[in-house]
Amino acid sequence: MSENFSKLGFAKTYIYPALALFLIPIGCLVFYTYIQSTYDQQFLEAAKADIRNDQQLTPEEKGGLIAFYETFPPSRLIVSNQPGAAEWRELQDTQYLIEQYSLAWAVRISWLCIWAGIAAFVLTGIGVALSLQSQAMQYRSLWVGWHSLRLFCTLEVIAQGLLVFSLSFWIPAFFFSVYIIKVLLLFAIIALGAIGVVIAAIFKRPNDDFVVQGEILTREMAPQLWYDLEQLSSKMQTAPPDHVIAGIDDNFFVTQLPVKVQDKHEQVQTLTGRNLFVSLSLLKKLPGQEADAVLLHELAHFSGNDTLYSQRIAPLLARYDHFLQGLYEGGVSRPVFYFAVMFRALYEISLGSLSRQREFRADRLAAEATSSHDMAHALLRITAYSQYRAELEKEFFEAEEVHEQVNLSERIDGGFLAYTNSFVDKHNVGELATAHPFDSHPPLKQRLEAIGFRATPDAMRSVLYDESIGNWFQKIDDAELLEREQWTAYEEQFRQFHENILAFRYIPSNQQEQELVEKFFPPLTLTAAKNRPVSFDFEKVTYEDWDAPIYYREIESMTFENQWGARLDLVVKRNGKSKTIKLPLSKTQSEQQEVMGTLENYYGRAVSAIAYQKSLKEPEPMSPDEDRFSLET
């Protein structure tokens, strides 16, 4: 989440929706208070008439009784301990008492939800404010916040579920003097379903595996690299990493989270402890002192316990995000979801703030151990490389034809030096940030200014125009082979992914395009009702009882019906008119699911292709030229 939002934008996006937390309680409070007031008035009018007509009571006794009922109407007597309240309750009809008790408790639950919501807003604000103080306080506030909020949200969902269920009784009962069993059962199922989903989300462990493509560098594979890392670690006053992973990503990072390392043979090994990831492609382009600065920056995260607190915080965030999904899927729990999202958004501000402080600290320590020029030059080189790689990948991805091969690494190596001129001239360099899997990095301009570095565009070109191979790359045995193997695997994965994407873009206009689409969406014949065939291909579905096949572009909606036999009702628009065409389904559930799943997938592909081709024909909006950013002050 970006921190560059206006106060109004944040309020409209998070605060205002969070107020939906009070929607059901306040609505129920107003409704049930109105019912109580109506019933109290009806009771008082009947009681006054009976008292006045009672010839056995003296005027003083009549006045006293009327004053008592005016002070203590049924809505108060039902829960009061005042003298006479218990006797009054004993005289009432059982059903009347049950209704009064349900109203009283509905009002109490509504008030409880409202006051608990207000308290949650206040405590959330305090927790987020405290989390800005330090990493330790950030972890403690999130730990307390997670455990408190999941309890609050769960109880709030239960309470609001009860209120929604009570409405299903009282709305027809009060306005129409009836209650409908089917409606009560329906709302009971809805409320219980929401409660069940939310409770399950608390205890279900989310899949938060962190998988990295790369090769584990043992001391035998890179003895000089390990020796120099130990020297740098000593300079940074921290222990060296437990493991080093070499990959081809466009970043360096450290973590103490468990890392699943997948090698070129797709074998996975889990590493725990302090892990350092190095980019072979970047090590090849970083001169010695620049590489020292980058590695010292990463080691500084170890010395500052940044990775320790990330290790503690990450699982809490993963569980909280999983809990948010449960709140969203619960239906009735959606108002509570918006409140919980607001807390997550506020906490993201804290995470971003401290993350930037960590980056500034690591930059400063690395610059002090080398020089501000070395740190700044490394940041410029890494940013330019990341930008160039991203632009080439976008170019490959947006291509409308199948790639016989993706020569991404070759294009990067052959064109990087020429690219540096356009990078400095055309890009808003100061607003760019380096990639990172865990932390949000500040813009380059802020990082360079924080270490006291100033540079003109010409100086930046001079820094970037260096084609010497970095000496850290040469400290790894068979580094060229390791890098080439990883690029080969990555480029093939990229090619296959792009090929798959093309299948969602094409409305085939020739045999080659049709063959590609059919590679992923081949003609299929499945079983419908009474073992009769239903056939699918990339553009239509065919059934023998229909006059003509149904093309996916004709379908407006699909509905599953199981009354009088399972079937799909397809609303089709032809010649400007809509009509419903039925597809009877097999009685076997697995065959039903297979037909519906296939239709959904093939229809989804066709819709995506139609939308994509339409977007190509629409003119793109004009955008003003961006001003070139200069680091010169």
Q: Are residues 52 and 197 in the same domain?
A: yes
Residue-averaged pLDDT of the chain: 87
- For 262-313, how does the pLDDT look when each residue is reduced to its tens digit (9 = 90+)? 887 778 899 999 999 999 999 999 988 999 999 999 999 999 888 888 888 8
Q: Is residue 234 part of a domain?
A: yes
**Structural domain ending residue among the three candidates 203, 224, 245:** 203
Residue 625 has pLDDT above 90, yes or no: no
**Structural domain ending residue among the three candidates 143, 175, 203:** 203
Q: Are residues 531 and 549 in the same domain?
A: yes
Reported confidence tier of residue 432, pLDDT bands at 50, 70, 90? low
What pLDDT does residue 96 have?
85
Q: Are residues 557 and 482 in the same domain?
A: no
Contacts of residue 154, defined as CB under 8 A and 6 or more positions apart, other chains included, come to: 195, 198, 199, 202
Q: Is residue 337 part of a domain?
A: no
Q: What's the average model confidence in pLDDT over 395-411?
A: 93
Q: How far is CA 98 from CA 55, 71, 79, 185, 447, in A?
A: 32, 22, 12, 19, 68
What is the length of the chain?
633
Top-confidence residue, 632 or 543: 543
What pLDDT does residue 443 have?
82
Q: Are residues 377 and 518 in the same domain?
A: no
Closest CA to 332 of 95, 125, 24: 24
Of 167-176, 420-429, 527-536, where does the model show the most confidence?
A: 527-536
Tokens coding 304: 């500052």
Residues 443/450, Cβ–Cβ less than 8 Å: no
Tokens coding 153: 């949200």
What region does 417 belong to: left with phi over 0, alpha with psi -120 to 50, or beta?
alpha
Q: Are residues 193 and 231 in the same domain?
A: no
Residues 255/275, Cβ–Cβ less than 8 Å: yes
Question: What residues make up the domain containing 559?
Answer: 514-617
Q: Is residue 317 part of a domain?
A: no
Number of CB atoms found within 10 A of residue 279's CB: 24
Q: Are residues 373 and 413 in the same domain?
A: yes
Q: Are residues 133 and 234 in the same domain?
A: no
Rounded-to-integer distance, Cα 619 and Cα 413, Å? 34
What pLDDT does residue 620 have?
55
Residues 299/232, Cβ–Cβ less than 8 Å: yes
Per DSSP (E only), the strands in 97-179 are none
Alpha helices in 370-475 (DSSP H): 372-398, 408-426, 444-450, 457-464
- For 178-225, how does the pLDDT look when each residue is reduced to its tens digit (9 = 90+)? 888 888 898 889 888 888 988 888 877 777 788 899 999 999 999 999
Residue 89 has pLDDT above 90, yes or no: no
% of the chain with per-residue pLDDT over 90: 51
DSSP state of 566: -
Q: Is residue 185 part of a domain?
A: yes
What pLDDT does residue 631 have?
37
Closest CA to 252 of 232, 223, 237: 232
Q: Is residue 587 part of a domain?
A: yes
- For 577-619, how does the pLDDT look when each residue is reduced to its tens digit (9 = 90+)? 999 999 999 999 999 999 999 999 999 999 999 999 999 887 6
First to last CA, the chain: 30
Rounded-to-integer distance, Cα 100 and Cα 39, Å? 9
What pLDDT does residue 6 have?
54
Q: Is residue 327 part of a domain?
A: no
Contacts of residue 606, defined as CB under 8 A and 6 or more positions apart, other chains included, come to: 538, 539, 552, 553
Reported confidence tier of residue 4, pLDDT bands at 50, 70, 90? very low
What pLDDT does residue 275 have?
95
Residue 591 sits in a domain whose CATH number is 2.30.29.30
What pLDDT does residue 417 have?
85
Residue 629 has pLDDT above 50, yes or no: no
Tokens coding 564: 């009088």
Rounded-to-integer distance, Cα 178 and Cα 168, Å? 11
Q: Is residue 127 part of a domain?
A: yes
Helices 372-398 and 334-369: angle between axes, nearest 10 degrees: 130
Residue 428 has pLDDT above 70, yes or no: no
Rounded-to-integer distance, Cα 240 and Cα 234, Å? 8
- For 218-264, how does the pLDDT look when each residue is reduced to its tens digit (9 = 90+)? 999 999 999 999 999 999 999 999 999 999 999 999 999 999 998 87
Residues 468/284, Cβ–Cβ less than 8 Å: no
Q: Are residues 464 and 549 in the same domain?
A: no
DSSP SS3 for 221: coil
Rounded-to-integer distance, Cα 130 and Cα 150, Å? 19
What pLDDT does residue 66 have?
86
- For 561-575, how does the pLDDT look when each residue is reduced to its tens digit (9 = 90+)? 887 789 999 999 998
Q: Are residues 48 and 139 in the same domain?
A: yes
Reported confidence tier of residue 8, pLDDT bands at 50, 70, 90? low
Q: Which amino acid is at 229?
A: L
DSSP SS3 for 50: helix
**Minimum mean pLDDT range among 40-49, 90-99, 435-444, 492-501:** 435-444
What pLDDT does residue 612 have?
95
What pLDDT does residue 456 have?
73
**Structural domain ending residue among the three candidates 153, 168, 203:** 203
Tokens coding 223: 């003895």
Q: Count the domains in the chain.
A: 3
Tokens coding 372: 């501000």
Reported confidence tier of residue 176, pLDDT bands at 50, 70, 90? confident
Q: What's the average model confidence in pLDDT over 68-86?
A: 83
Residue 394 has pLDDT above 80, yes or no: yes
Q: Is residue 340 part of a domain?
A: no
Q: Which amino acid is at 118?
A: I
Q: What's the average model confidence in pLDDT over 100-127?
A: 92
Alpha-carbon dihedral of residues 556, 562, 565, 570, nearest 10 degrees?
A: 0
- For 325-382, how does the pLDDT look when each residue is reduced to its tens digit (9 = 90+)? 899 988 888 899 999 998 888 888 888 888 889 999 999 999 999 999 999 999 989 9
Q: Are residues 85 and 158 in the same domain?
A: yes
Rounded-to-integer distance, Cα 538 and Cα 518, Å? 7
Alpha helices in 451-583 (DSSP H): 457-464, 479-505, 511-520
Reported confidence tier of residue 431, pLDDT bands at 50, 70, 90? low
Q: Are residues 366 and 479 in the same domain?
A: yes
What pLDDT does residue 366 have?
95
What pLDDT does residue 344 have?
87
Q: Are residues 154 and 217 in the same domain?
A: no
Contacts of residue 454, defined as CB under 8 A and 6 or more positions apart, other chains included, come to: 448, 631, 632, 633
Reported confidence tier of residue 81, pLDDT bands at 50, 70, 90? confident
Residues 26/112, Cβ–Cβ less than 8 Å: no
- For 162-174, how does the pLDDT look when each residue is reduced to its tens digit (9 = 90+)? 999 999 999 998 8
What pLDDT does residue 630 have?
34
